[in-house]
């Protein structure tokens, strides 16, 4: 499948806007889990200076009725910054801000899983609990097939090499779930603070 000319134009236009000077301003993209519990939402706020810590980031609000998080009445929801990271897409000094969501009455939203996790972690803090996370993803080529694999199937000959080698070193994963599937594993640690 060929890439359309408009797709190339979009990249050129995007690059022009991404390279505009920002001055001292910083874009902070606030990210949260919506009312479905599966979708991510975000909105970006322009700040006058680079935030150095979570405390430097203001709370923000949004209309929860448009994100499946509230009814029409009392639909104000608040974003409470919980973690801040360098923005790998818009580059420094811009930030990605992970947020907890609370309702108009300051009670946690139903999909505020961080609040629930923090509460449980505090209950068992004396046991020094740790947990880790894995995120799988698949890279597809422009033709829609798994990237780097032939369109007529997987590279079967590699299994003869990888399976015995994996068994030899005691690996619990012999092959990816599907072609061109990769996994990011975040190390164990006391993550919620």
Among 129, 86, 82, which residue's Cα sits nearest to residue 101? 82
Question: What is the CATH number for 84?
Answer: 3.10.20.70
Contact yes or no for 162/174 (Cβ under 8 A): yes
Question: What confidence tens digit (pLDDT) does each residue in 20-67 have?
Answer: 888 999 999 999 999 999 999 999 999 999 999 999 999 999 999 999
Q: How many CB atoms lie within 10 A of CB 19?
A: 8
Name the 3-class secondary structure at 17: helix
Q: End of a domain among 111, 146, 178?
A: 111
The answer to whether residues 74 and 155 belong to one domain is: no
Its domain, for residue 58, covers 21-111
Question: What confidence tens digit (pLDDT) does each residue in 135-187 have?
Answer: 777 888 888 888 777 777 655 545 554 555 444 444 444 345 666 777 776 66
Whole-number pLDDT of residue 30: 98
d(CA 94, CA 25): 9
């Amino acid at each position: 499948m060929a890439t359309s000319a408009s797709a190339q134009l979009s990249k050129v236009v995007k690059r022009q806007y991404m390279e505009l000077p920002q001055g001292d301003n910083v874009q902070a993209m606030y990210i949260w889990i919506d009312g479905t519990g599966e979708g991510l939402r975000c909105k970006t706020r322009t700040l006058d200076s680079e935030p150095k810590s979570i405390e430097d980031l203001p709370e923000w609000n949004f209309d929860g009725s448009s994100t499946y998080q509230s009814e029409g009445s009392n639909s104000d929801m608040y974003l409470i910054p919980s973690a801040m990271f360098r923005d790998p897409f818009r580059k420094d000094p811009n930030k990605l801000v992970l947020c907890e969501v609370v309702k108009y009455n300051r009670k946690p939203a139903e999909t505020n899983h961080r609040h629930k996790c923090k509460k449980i972690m505090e209950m068992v803090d004396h046991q020094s609990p740790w947990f880790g996370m894995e995120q799988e993803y698949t890279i597809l080529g422009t033709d829609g097939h798994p990237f780097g694999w032939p369109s007529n199937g997987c590279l079967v000959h590699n299994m003869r090499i990888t399976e015995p080698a994996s068994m030899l070193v005691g690996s619990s994963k012999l092959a990816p779930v599907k072609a061109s599937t990769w996994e990011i594993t975040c190390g164990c640690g006391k993550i919620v603070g």
